Structure 1
Amino acid sequence: MTDDRPAAEPSYAHGTGGTALLGDTIGANLDRAVAAWPDREALVDVPSGRRWTYAEFAADVDRLARALLASDVAKGDRVGIWAVNCAEWVLVQYATARIGAIMVNINPAYRTHEVAYVLKQAGISLLFASLRHKGSDYRAMVEQVRPACPDLREAVYIDDPSWTAFAARGTADRAEELRLRAAELSCDDPINIQYTSGTTGFPKGATLSHHNILNNGYFVGELIAYSEQDRVCVPVPFYHCFGMVMGNLAATSHGACLVVPAASFDPAATLAAVERERCTSLYGVPTMFIAELNLPGFAGYDLSTLRTGIMAGSPCPVEVMKRVVAEMHMAEVAICYGMTETSPVSLQTRTDDDLEHRTGTVGRVLPHLEVKIVDPATGVTRPRGTAGELCTRGYSVMLGYWAEPEKSAEAIDAGRWMHTGDLAVMREDGYVEIVGRIKDMIIRGGENVYPREIEEFLYGHPKIRDVQVVGVPHERYGEEVLACVIPLDAADPLTLQELRAFCADRLAHYKIPSRLSVLDAFPMTVSGKVRKIELRERYGAAAPGEA
């Protein structure tokens, strides 16, 4: 007897669209924006009160680019930026692109041994840095590691006379030299190195081209209908793709205005900037939106100009999304999914998607990209509706890890598919659900447990503000389920008994957390992702029960 049922569609999707890829360099694309909208605002740095029109912004970018030329920065030289969010960060981004230097993003949270590693591994010859941030004296740290970094010729500090002196080198008589340099550049040249968060060993430097990041920023902006009328509030770090690509490049490629609310995330400063600058778009990871929604006096902010924005970094709880749409007026907010190695966005929800698609999925494939879901062991494409590893291919895939061809080959296969390490399911309609990291999946007594499912369920508990679920070692079952909870009211914390009672008869027994840890905050990366590995390490050896 034959089975006449149709075979399930494979978990593969190709993004089509009527808008062509951009063939520009970043500098040429900025020139287009300046020609179209010279008098529109391009950048507002709220803490300092400074603002630039597109014409003024391009003039300052060119001045800094000429200063780089005067400092003998050649095409392909690596220029580091170790700074918090500020206008100078943005100027460095576009000025290095103007001359074909490779800007290397350095995490503001790095300590001396991490900075030394990046300076040496990338061969950074010129470094721009903040003076200090959150107790870190960047100048002292640079001087400490400088003897071990022979390529580093010069360090320039923002808000310091060294910045003013450096910019003064960009005299007008180098304008022709700048024009000739720009004419030598290809959109496929490497332009940016971003170090991915290393969970074991040192981080790897994802190397990205003009073509990678300009197009990714452009299409992210296209899908939320950016125009020169938009004003984009970016409280996420520029150090990460979320800020510098989805924020800066999405804005300038559409003639929109970039608004910097603070040096680092501050919920009150963010909402105040949205109100004062009449922002139409707001970015953040879910924990940022949660902090804003729970801010005392939240209801007093006028957020009526908002229409859209981007939430990314981790899954959005349903209740948070409902409040973002209803109370922050962000009816067209998008969920984005990606990774540094893919510039970063591969999947995005659309402005007219319903609540379920915005919270249950991370959207569908972007134009001009491909995604598929494969069996992690065999590489064979899985049928739709079944879990496997998410892979992506197209213009967004990095050139490789800087000076590490073997690690590049481990991440990008012979077909140029980038293997994300994420477990995902593609629905029949092409939307993708992320069910966890391959390394984060909990295997309890032979049962596969996906933390996202339990987290989403626990968000419904009236005492829980935020929750992360991880697996920790267990002598009998191999792993057990630990819920790390931030309570809604610190004076009335949740107990393990209450948590388990809430789950009883509603979750399968092996999914119910057997341990609980009540925290004030989660350990986070600078890009706003929860460091689950730290939670596992911190509580892995704790006694059973409440950690």
Structure 2
Amino acid sequence: MPHANGNGTFNTLLSETHGSPLTGPVKPVFELFQETFQKHASEKALKCMHQAPTYLSSLLRSPSPTTKSLPLTKDANDSGKNTTSSHQNQISSKPCLNWTFDQLSQASHSLACSLAARGVKPGEAIASFVNNGAEFHVANYAALELNCIFAPLNPKVASNAPEARHLFGMLRPAVVLVSDGELAEKLEDVVGEEMGSVRVKLVAVESEDSLPSGWQDLEKFVEDNVQHGERGLEKLVIERKEDDVLLVFTTSGTTSMPKGCPWTNKSFRSMLYCIKDVLDLENTDEAPRIACFHSPNFHIMGYFFGAPYHLPGLSVVHPSATFYPGATLKAVHEERVSDLAAVPALVHALVGHPDLKKTDTTCLKWMLLGATTILPETLRMASEQLGVERPTEGYGMTETGPANIRLFVDIPLTPPKTVLAGPVVPGGKSRICDPETREVLPRGVPGELHCGGDLIIHEYWTGDGKVSKEAFYTDDHGLWIKTGDQAVMEENGDVRIVGRYKDLIIRGGENISPKSIEDIFMARFDMTAEVVGVPDDIAGEIPIAIVKTKPGQEIDVSALRTALVKELGPTWVPEEILMLEDLGLVDYPRTTSGKVQKVILRDILKEKRASTIGSVEGESMLEILTRVWNKLLSLPAGTLTHQTSVHDWADSLILARFSAALLREAGLLISLSELAEHSTVEQQARLLSSRGTAQASFADIVPKRDGPPTINDTAHVHGDEARFQKTIQLCNETLAPLGLDWNDVQDVIPMNATQETFLKYRRPQTSNHRHAWLCPGTSMEELQTAIERAVTHHSMLRSMAIYFDDITAVHATIRPSKKWWSHCITIVPPIKKASDLPTLVYNDPKLDFACFPGPMFRFVITYLEEEKCAGVVYQGQHSVFDGVSLPIFLEDLDKLLVAPGTVLKPHVPYKAWADSMYLLQDSALARQSVDWQAKRLHGISRTPEALFPKQIAPEWFKGNSEGWVDINTGKPGPPRKYLDADPVGVKGISALGQLPDVQALKVKHGIEGSQIVKAALAVVTTRYTKAGFALFGQSQAGRSWPFLLDWQVERMPPAMDIDGPAVQGTLVRIPVDKDESVLEMMRKLQAEQKFLNKHAYAPMRQLVASMNESIPNEGDFYGDAFRRQIFNWLPVAPVWSLEKLKNMQVESRTDCGILWNCIMMDRTTLKINPSWDDAQLRRVEIEEMIAEILRVSEAFATEENWGKPLSQVV
């Protein structure tokens, strides 16, 4: 099965998965709702907290479909039940509109009758330009009853004349419903002759309002027509077909004009069933689900929270006409809404609102986050600060509806560290394809997401009766749409969205077409502009315009902003309008064919924005605030005074963005609740000034210099001139064979004992990693240039190794030069195809290694004839990188391949971290770590039978051992013989298992999944050794600043960005007591892990000496035990999110017996990937161990076993 939701059999190595079939009767959508309204007639359906209880009350006077038979409802239940009186009693204490399903049915039926009386026929369009409220639902269900097309549209369209005319030309609506008279006037003005198709023009006014000629009040229209229409509708026979279009949403395209997305009976019904299945929506008496419909109704994501909740008989609440955080929190408090949608901006607005502190949010069960990039921090904010039980990201489009969303019951209660869109939904299909060939790609490889199944639309409406099917295709699995989004499918079938192939900008969930803005620059000002989107913490993305003027042409920013506001609306106004010269450019970066490279522009802008923090020197607080407000509000000069309330112009989204923009641009922090209390610029300035304006920043912690290191730059010499001169001499001796000397040295960096262990020469491939990468669309010259730039940025990959004395080893990083590149970059003849890359120079005695003394990182570049692009294989010595620093390098290399002009972000220099660790290794805190580790391991050497695996060949090597040297004699070692005819130990094998209750173990007992597998490995190991405890090595990521006090660590740069190897290793000793309960064993392991993390950096040299002092040779026994068997835990599967680098091979050549890589692939799926020394173990032995470890792990992860003794479970 490709996924738990799947029902088909596929090649699970490929990125394609199909959801389970939808369940439910195949009926027209109207009949489904008719049955629901009958079944739940007296139950609450709709509450509009911002609308008066008498609003649209005249629509409730006609018989409803729940009390009177309607066309094609041959077995309708004529109950005659009237709920108006009881309903009024129920809401008397709450003066707002509060309807039952019967009342909603009455109101929509009244409108349907009235429209029929005016000649509206099935298949005609009803266009809605209203915000959230009862009128939206009334029009929606009236359209369903008449089998008309319902098109919910953005009321702001009235401010964009070309778009409004385009939409009217595309839909040819017979009916238009607007929210007020002012909007009606605007539409009349901008639409012009396209309004000719409209026969009924309605205004949903709540108060007395003058209406333009030809427009009617909605209630008055129904009163005048309902009785005549009732008789006509009873005689009307409506034939409802599967391909009848019922809904049309619009979506922005790569052009400026939106396209229509037609939803038919079949696709609409499928969407309703899909959402019901995904969310497990049922009408139950216990804690019923209640939808908070606060998102725009013209977005399909907002629409999810209306009709799909009504179908199972659940209630929908509108807190306000448009989103306002205070109103939403009031709905949470008073109505106990459970489910809501949000973009990051909405989450920030809710968290920052002062009412949150007094709001009980325990009713919030589910929050769907989408419409833009969702970060793990946003999910954590929704969970921890808003109190949402199950916040989740989902992926969908206007064209697909929900496409990839995790089932409600599968959403983890603790937000994940990696955000995934999730599995394919029931009724849906997902595949990841090559965007050029449509070939389905292997899992883990990024490509274009294609969606299929029962939910997707079948064409675009492009205007004037035209359709487009270019984005669609059909194959043996049905209809598919190419989304234009880049994604990766994980091994378990989950989809992760990586980016967009399109240039659309998504600001706060709203699509913005750069071309629309660029066209106005040209049409109104005869000025060339390129508009790109850059990331924004609150809005997701914001548009920025880069303008190119003609000689002598001047730019009037105020006039540009005014024109953009008038033509497109304030949302579309770029946050910044810059000149090319502001970016240091003469022309836009272009391809060889002259096309502007917006990717490079975007990267340049991101760097510029990052560098603006702290650039406000010389400005007063008032000037800073006014500048930022004016930029966000796009107000004419002089409009915003220091005494004016910003709330007069700023909506909740702008308030949230202001808080982030102020922090980014000026390093000043003001919360949304503070903005609510301090509405004027003067009040805000007074508040911020009272705190002071000091900004947190880190100065360069490694000084820059032109020449080689001085004595004070070299930590290991301790200011001793003789040691410094010895260092220079050793460097010269080491570099001489390469034609280099001391003057080529950039830095000298001391190693810690873990690095020395990696470095210790036993064979050419000692502790090597070999990776192979395909570089699509990249020439060999482009690849070599990018490698040189990336390695220049990552100094540890330009290293040579030197032993200063018996207890000190150092890395000398070498300055980039042609001579240096000639030693670490090799060009070889072309190869035929990508599948040949993994064998390129494989085990070549001259090229396939990186070892002492260096270079410690080497590249082999070639050309692939079939793919017509370059490829690279590199060999890295593990003493210069780890599993965190290497991906940082690859990301930077990928950026340079995508956009060669990219300015790379600086990282925390490795030298600062390494110097600190070296200089503090004999400190009191270091000694504490040594003492704790020595005490924990005391006496291990007295049980040599605990060593596993048993050694039957000299040394411990994964992979090729040719040329190995016996470190005890310094002489070549004897040949080592593989036990299997076809050895695969260095490549490894994999197997999957399940940890069913791993989440419950974490939530209830605070025990992580790693302890389950570690306990299982211990149990299985002792079966082989018969010892009372298991001994094996364990990798520790480290990534902290060792031997510093907590307050000191807080003031250091983030350790996760340290540009070099911080990984450590430790030895674990796990007693296996068969009378002990499973839970108690894992509790002890979790408790010990806390201290293992704390003391991970115990200096190994000092630890070994301490152990040897306590028991002779016990420290040496430690090293032997560690290398035999190593446990490595990855809480999430590693994924290469790269555009121009396609991974073809990862091979770890660790000098050990067995390396157990244990990876959580999803919430419950465990993958074990062992690699081993083929001269010590056979494949069949490893397969037997994997099976046992997985079996025991599953047993330990099953809750019913936790209280049982080990003897009963294993």
Q: TM over 0.5, yes or no?
A: yes
Answer yes or no: is the 8 Å Cα contact 2:405–2:421 preserved in 1.
yes
Indicate whether 1:27 and 2:30 are aligned.
yes
Taking the TM superposition and a 5 Å limit, the aligned residue runs for 1:306-345 are 306-342=364-400, 344-345=401-402
> Equivalents in 2 of 1:8, 1:424: separation in Å?
17
> Equivalents in 2 of 1:315, 1:492: separation in Å?
20
Q: SS at 1:30's partner residue?
A: helix
Q: 1:437 aligns with which of 500, 512, 515?
A: 500
Deviations 1:204-250 (A, max 9, x none): 11111132123213322331222222211011111111122x11121
Report the CA distance between 1:474 and its aligned residue: 6.0
Percent identity between matched residues is 23
Change (3 A) 1:165 1:378: same
Report the CA distance between 1:38 and its aligned residue: 1.4
Answer yes or no: is the 8 Å Cα contact 1:425–1:432 preserved in 2.
yes
Q: 1:239 aligns with which of 298, 310, 328?
A: 298
Amino acid at match of 1:156: L
Q: 1:114 aligns with which of 163, 167, 179?
A: 163
Change (3 A) 1:430 1:182: farther
Change (3 A) 1:498 1:90: farther
Amino acid at match of 2:39: A
> Equivalents in 2 of 1:144, 1:180: separation in Å?
38
Report the CA distance between 1:186 and its aligned residue: 2.3
Answer yes or no: is the 8 Å Cα contact 1:251–1:258 preserved in 2.
yes
Q: Could you say which residue in structure 2 is the equivalent of 1:413?
A: 473
Taking the TM superposition and a 5 Å limit, the aligned residue runs for 1:267-282 are 267-282=325-340
Greater shift after overlay, 469-478 or 186-195?
469-478
Report the CA distance between 1:438 and its aligned residue: 1.0
Amino acid at match of 1:210: N
Report the CA distance between 1:277 and its aligned residue: 1.1
Change (3 A) 1:466 1:398: closer
> Equivalents in 1 of 2:699, 2:397: separation in Å?
34
Amino acid at match of 2:186: M
Number of aligned pairs? 486
Indicate whether 1:45 and 2:48 are aligned.
yes
Deviations 1:100-149 (A, max 9, x none): 111122222212332222112211122111116xxxx3121122145412
Deviations 1:29-82 (A, max 9, x none): 111212221111111111011011011111111111111111111111111111
Report the CA distance between 1:498 and its aligned residue: 6.2
Answer yes or no: is the 8 Å Cα contact 1:226–1:254 preserved in 2.
yes
Q: SS at 2:246's partner residue?
A: strand
Q: Could you say which residue in structure 1 is the equivalent of 2:7?
A: none
Deviations 1:164-219 (A, max 9, x none): 12222453564464355465222431012222123423111111113212321332
Q: Could you say which residue in structure 2 is the equivalent of 1:67?
A: 114
Report the CA distance between 1:13 and its aligned residue: 0.4
Indicate whether 1:89 and 2:136 are aligned.
yes
Indicate whether 1:100 and 2:184 are aligned.
no
Taking the TM superposition and a 5 Å limit, the aligned residue runs for 1:153-302 are 153-159=199-205, 162-172=217-227, 174-175=229-230, 177-178=232-233, 181=236, 183-228=238-283, 229-244=288-303, 246-302=304-360
Answer yes or no: is the 8 Å Cα contact 2:460–2:469 preserved in 1.
no
> Equivalents in 2 of 1:13, 1:251: separation in Å?
27
What TM-score, normalized to structure 1? 0.80
Q: 1:399 aligns with which of 458, 461, 464?
A: 458
> Equivalents in 2 of 1:86, 1:167: separation in Å?
18
> Equivalents in 2 of 1:173, 1:306: separation in Å?
46
Answer yes or no: is the 8 Å Cα contact 2:405–2:422 preserved in 1.
yes
Answer yes or no: is the 8 Å Cα contact 1:66–1:169 preserved in 2.
no
Deviations 1:454-510 (A, max 9, x none): 96xxx9xxxx666649998964995151336857566544479969989x9774446
Report the CA distance between 1:394 and its aligned residue: 1.6
Q: Could you say which residue in structure 2 is the equivalent of 1:376?
A: 435
Q: SS at 1:410's partner residue?
A: coil
Q: SS at 2:233's partner residue?
A: helix
Answer yes or no: is the 8 Å Cα contact 2:461–2:467 preserved in 1.
no
Change (3 A) 1:319 1:501: farther
Amino acid at match of 2:471: A
Answer yes or no: is the 8 Å Cα contact 2:37–2:101 preserved in 1.
yes
> Equivalents in 2 of 1:378, 1:271: separation in Å?
49
> Equivalents in 1 of 2:152, 2:700: separation in Å?
46
Amino acid at match of 1:192: L
Greater shift after overlay, 474-483 or 69-78?
474-483
Answer yes or no: is the 8 Å Cα contact 2:122–2:238 preserved in 1.
no
Amino acid at match of 2:487: A
> Equivalents in 2 of 1:384, 1:108: separation in Å?
42
Q: SS at 2:435's partner residue?
A: coil
Answer yes or no: is the 8 Å Cα contact 1:385–1:425 preserved in 2.
yes
Q: Could you say which residue in structure 2 is the equivalent of 1:525?
A: none
Report the CA distance between 1:254 and its aligned residue: 1.4
> Equivalents in 1 of 2:167, 2:242: separation in Å?
25
Answer yes or no: is the 8 Å Cα contact 1:362–1:434 preserved in 2.
yes
Amino acid at match of 1:46: M
Greater shift after overlay, 293-302 or 254-263?
293-302
What TM-score, normalized to structure 2? 0.38
Q: SS at 2:17's partner residue?
A: strand
Amino acid at match of 1:366: V
Answer yes or no: is the 8 Å Cα contact 2:125–2:171 preserved in 1.
yes
Q: Could you say which residue in structure 2 is the equivalent of 1:11?
A: 15
Change (3 A) 1:293 1:271: same
Q: SS at 2:450's partner residue?
A: strand
- State the superposition RMSD in angstroms: 3.4
Report the CA distance between 1:330 and its aligned residue: 2.0
> Equivalents in 2 of 1:116, 1:499: separation in Å?
54
Q: SS at 2:394's partner residue?
A: strand
Structure 2: any 5+ residue segments left out of the alignment?
Answer: 1-10, 52-95, 210-215, 506-531, 547-586, 592-596, 611-656, 668-695, 702-792, 795-884, 897-901, 906-1210
> Equivalents in 2 of 1:82, 1:138: separation in Å?
9
Answer yes or no: is the 8 Å Cα contact 2:259–2:462 preserved in 1.
no
Report the CA distance between 1:24 and its aligned residue: 2.7
> Equivalents in 1 of 2:218, 2:419: separation in Å?
47
> Equivalents in 1 of 2:271, 2:127: separation in Å?
22
> Equivalents in 2 of 1:340, 1:255: separation in Å?
25
Answer yes or no: is the 8 Å Cα contact 1:440–1:470 preserved in 2.
no
> Equivalents in 1 of 2:382, 2:336: separation in Å?
17
Change (3 A) 1:315 1:359: farther
Q: SS at 1:333's partner residue?
A: strand
Indicate whether 1:144 and 2:144 are aligned.
no
Deviations 1:285-327 (A, max 9, x none): 2221121112234222222211123222123221221121233
Change (3 A) 1:501 1:168: farther
Taking the TM superposition and a 5 Å limit, the aligned residue runs for 1:444-455 are none
> Equivalents in 1 of 2:309, 2:151: separation in Å?
21
Answer yes or no: is the 8 Å Cα contact 1:285–1:312 preserved in 2.
yes
Change (3 A) 1:225 1:499: farther
> Equivalents in 1 of 2:494, 2:397: separation in Å?
18
Q: SS at 2:442's partner residue?
A: coil
> Equivalents in 2 of 1:211, 1:500: separation in Å?
61
